[in-house]
Amino acid sequence: MPNMSPVKTPMPEQEPNIRNKNFEEVSLGYTEEMAVEEAKRCLNCKTKPCVNGCPVSVRIPEFISCVASGDMENAYKIIKTTNSLPAVCGRVCPQESQCEHNCVRGIKGEPVGIGRLERYVADWHMKHGGAETFDVKPNGHKVAVIGAGPAGLTCAGDLAAMGYSVTVYEALHTAGGVLMYGIPQFRLPKEIVQKEIDGLKAKGVDIQTDMVMGKVLSVDELFDMGYEAIFIGTGAGLPSFMNIPGEELVGTYSANEFLTRVNLMKAYLDEYDTPIIRPKNVAVVGGGNVAMDAARTAKRLGAENVYIVYRRAEEQMPARKEEIHHAKEEGILFNLLRNPVAIHGDENGRVRSIECIEMELGEPDASGRRKPVPKEGSNFEIPVDCVVMAIGNSPNPLIRSTTEGLEANKKGCIVVDEATMATTREGVYAAGDAVSGAATVILAMGGGKEAARSIDQYIQSKTK
């Protein structure tokens, strides 16, 4: 009998006033009983609308029916046939706008907690599952992947499973991309990302860190080295600033810098050498997931007051509802319909306050969103000693500026054929934020998957 409860089985979480002082994971995950109970809410419908909502087409009802019957090992195997990083996706995917958005149970109540179940199964496997065995026959072809973020790792994992010899080149000292330097520990523990990456290595994926492609090796040199195809998954890591007065002051960070110091360099732990300012009052500018991550991180570094400054209203915030909810619970203060116009400093060049102006929503713009318009003369100051700019990123120009024949659009995004992910350069494929601009982990993975399929077809057709 299916469980007809209209609401999801709740997932235990750390108390807001405890968790906002530590970096431990906020959501604690299901127990086996909770997972089985939630799995029984799935009606196993024939049409599987949930699968259509998943960018990597996880076989959702199949794995969930395994969970319902307590067969976690097979549930894991089913997920892994299409998703190389389930412990990550179960945690950070915006399920509410993807798989769970399409769930039939969502019509008259809450959808099935697909993300929570995927997470449970992946965590279960890390704890109880044996080593995975791989009996893939090498096909003798070499592919290079540039960038070890979600797009590159997915592409590499899928190609390795097809028998390709894959080398991933990563500029930082750690693979994982935004999973390692961007998304904080309290949402996505780094040990879990590392285990997923170790799993790919066990599959035969060779990961070379400390390799800044475009500087140390060019795309042309990779072809000379015998790679038959190249995948570019270099993401969108170039931070935007507002170009307002005072952004040069000490205490103004891009979200990328703030989060890289904390997540990748572990500046929040005493035994690590990278320093970070421990601010008392912080303004985080922006309304996306990165802004929520930065604000919640600042709180955990000991800040008393953390303000989100966002120029539109809450309904327009691009951040996940769950993250906004978590941020509010943790005491983050929301300054909505406010926009910074300047940052002021003291005589030592350190941030003293942020000056904002009130906004109101005007007519819808070309994109259909109501345009925020400043209210003349409504300027006010918030005293802060730190400002974090989380207003977006664009693709890093390093690869496209050193590769001939690689076309990019005005925004610096690499141009691809949307069906095949082929760039304008033969044998070169691209996906993820490098193509779309800053988007989500799972969309990058979907693109990486598509590119792996195209690369396989390309190499097979060439060798026939």
Partner 1 sequence: MFTIVEKRILNDSMTLMAVEAPYIAKKAKAGQFIILRVNEFGERIPLTVADYDREKGTITIIYQKVGKTTLMLDQLNVGDAILDFIGPLGKATELEGYKKVAVIGGGAGCAIAYPQAKALHNMGAKVDMIAGFRNKDIIILEDEMKAVSDHLILTTDDGSNGNKGFVTDALRKNIEDGANYDLVIAIGPLVMMRAVCNLTKEYHIKTLISMNPIMIDGTGMCGGCRLTVGGKTKFACVDGPDFDGHEVDFDEAIKRSRTYFDAEKEATHEYNCHLMEGAKNA
Q: Which residues bind partner 1 (CB under 8 A)?
A: 171-173, 209-212, 215-217, 237-239, 241, 243, 247-248, 250-251, 253-254, 256-257, 260-261, 265, 271-275, 277, 348-349, 396-398
178, 459 Cβ separation under 8 angstroms:
no
CB of 231 to partner 1, least distance (A): 19
Closest CB to partner 1 among 273 and 376?
273
Q: From the CB of 383, what's the least distance to partner 1, in Å?
A: 20
Count Cβ atoms within 10 A of the Cβ of residue 226 and give its class: 0-12 exposed, 13-18 middle, 19 or more buried.
exposed
d(CA 326, CA 19): 10
Task: Name which of 261, 301, 262 is nearest 281 in CA terms.
Answer: 301
Report, in Å, the least distance between residue 171 CB and partner 1: 5
CA distance 314 to 361: 12
For the CB of residue 347, give the shortest distance to partner 1 in the complex, in Å: 10
What does the alpha-carbon distance between residue 95 and residue 461 come to, in Å, rounded to a whole number?
Answer: 37
- CA torsion sign for 285, 174, 87, 139 is positive
Nearer to partner 1 (CB atom), residue 111 or residue 235 = 235
Nearer to partner 1, 305 or 402 (CB): 402
Q: Considering beta carbons, is residue 114 or 386 the nearer one to partner 1?
A: 386
Shortest reach from residue 137's CB to partner 1, in Å? 31
The residue among 283 and 455 lying less far from partner 1, judged by its C-beta, is 283
**Residues 305, 372: Cα–Cα separation, whole Å:** 25
CA 448, 451, 453, 455 dihedral sign is negative
Q: Smallest distance from the beta carbon of 320 to partner 1, in angstroms?
A: 23
Closest separation between CB of residue 389 and partner 1, Å?
9
Smaller CB separation from partner 1, 41 or 261:
261
284: nearest Cα among 250, 262, 258, 260: 258
| Closer residue to partner 1, CB minimum distance, 26 or 265 | 265
- Asked if residues 423 and 447 have their Cβ atoms less than 8 Å apart, the reply is no
CB under 8 Å to 129, separation ≥6 — which residues?
73, 76
Length of the chain: 464
